[in-house]
Amino acid sequence: MKCEQPGCEEQGILCSLNDDENTEFYYCASHCYQNGFCYGCGNHFGGMESFDFNNPSHLCPDCRTDSESEEDEGSYYEPPLFFDEEQDA
């Protein structure tokens, strides 16, 4: 889905208010934060001081912690590679 910001043609990610009506939007990386959403998980965090101020990563506290722990480990998580079962036989 494309970003819902008027005039934007970028690909958007699913952003959710997590309210009773499950209100959903699609915003690109540039417009997620401007509309109060974390680009990492798509959840709404606008209005929280830790999200709105002094947050150059534009990530929520959970995604920011996950990102920082990956940097501390000095490695990037890579999913396991799938292999052909015939090669193991």
Residues 15-26: pLDDT tens digits?
998 787 878 999
Q: Is residue 88 part of a domain?
A: no
Q: Is residue 37 part of a domain?
A: yes
pLDDT for res 35:
92
pLDDT for res 10:
94
Q: If you ran DSSP here, which 8-state letter would residue 83 be given?
A: -
Residues 46-71: pLDDT tens digits?
888 878 787 788 888 888 876 655 55
Measure the CA–CA gap between 21 and 63, rounded to whole angstroms.
24
pLDDT for res 89:
43
Is residue 88 predicted with pLDDT exceeding 50?
Answer: no
Q: Is residue 83 part of a domain?
A: no
Closest CA to 10 of 32, 24, 27: 27
Closest CA to 26 of 18, 37, 17, 15: 15
- Average predicted confidence (pLDDT) for the chain: 78
Measure the CA–CA gap between 71 and 81, rounded to whole angstroms.
22
- When divided into structural domains, the chain yields a total of 1
Domain that holds residue 66: 1-73
Higher-pLDDT residue of 8 and 62 is 8
Measure the CA–CA gap between 14 and 43, rounded to whole angstroms.
9
Q: Is residue 24 part of a domain?
A: yes
pLDDT for res 28:
93
Q: Is residue 18 part of a domain?
A: yes
Q: Is residue 85 part of a domain?
A: no
Q: Is residue 5 part of a domain?
A: yes
Q: Is residue 4 part of a domain?
A: yes
